[in-house]
Amino acid sequence: MKHPREKYIFHITHIRNLPGIIRTGGLYCDNERLSRGINNLSIAHQEIKDRRARRQVSVAAHGTVADYVPFYFAPRSPMLCAIHHGNVVGYQDGQEKVVYLITNITEACNCGQAWCFTDGHAEMLPSEFYDDLNQLSQINWNVMRSKYWNDTPDAPDRKRQRQAEFLVHKCYPWSKVLAIAVMNNMATTEVEKHISMADFKPRIVVKSGWYF
């Protein structure tokens, strides 16, 4: 079994954001993007982003959740499901244009930025924040390994737990991205075009099973 520190974590973004990520040297948190005037194509619920800008982080560099770059602990997130079903206001491109930027916990801890993680969706109570890797046991790894994460009468908190996050303060470097996962070969071609002039080129993998 993979050691928890070597477990992969996943940031999802629109494929058209790749040139800007490469140009600026990495993924920037929402607050840092706004202060730097960095524009991107959002795939998120704006009302949730607004709440993340108010939710206080109790560990690491403190601040709010909007001061951190978010990663999931598993693919097939509830957020991607909402995208697939067209439930994100203002976004119409579907899941085919969404890519995963993949790293692992060790790389994230060693990227030069403060970090922490949560045991559920960072914006939601009763999710808690941790900055001690010994507390990774607070993650519901059974839910992370499951293909389906819907709440059930016996386990009514699975959806929140599936959205647990690893959070990196301010910026996650492009050079620390281990791989890019896409839905199909057409997306592979588009990613190859976007990263063709980059000094650092992560490998590209087709992971159709990570989509809905």
Per-residue pLDDT tens for 36-83?
Answer: 999 999 999 999 999 999 999 999 999 999 999 999 999 999 999 999
Beta bridge partners of 14: 98
52 is catalytic: yes
Between β-strands 179-182 and 203-206, what pairing exists: parallel, antiparallel or unpaired? parallel
**DSSP 8-state symbol, 25:** T
User: Tokens for 177?
Assistant: 């991205």
107 is catalytic: no
Q: How far apart are CA 63 and CA 65, in angstroms?
A: 7
Residue 153 pLDDT > 80, yes or no?
yes
| Stretch 116-129: mean pLDDT | 97
Catalytic residue among 32, 33, 52, 76: 52
Residue 5 pLDDT > 80, yes or no?
no
Q: Is 63 helix (H, G, I), strand (E, B) or coil?
A: coil
Catalytic residue among 32, 107, 123, 165: 165
Hunting for tokens 């087709």 — which residue is that? Answer: 206
Q: Residue 1 has what pLDDT? A: 57
Cα 109-40-54 angle, rounded to 5 deg: 65
Cα 113-118-150 angle, rounded to 5 deg: 135
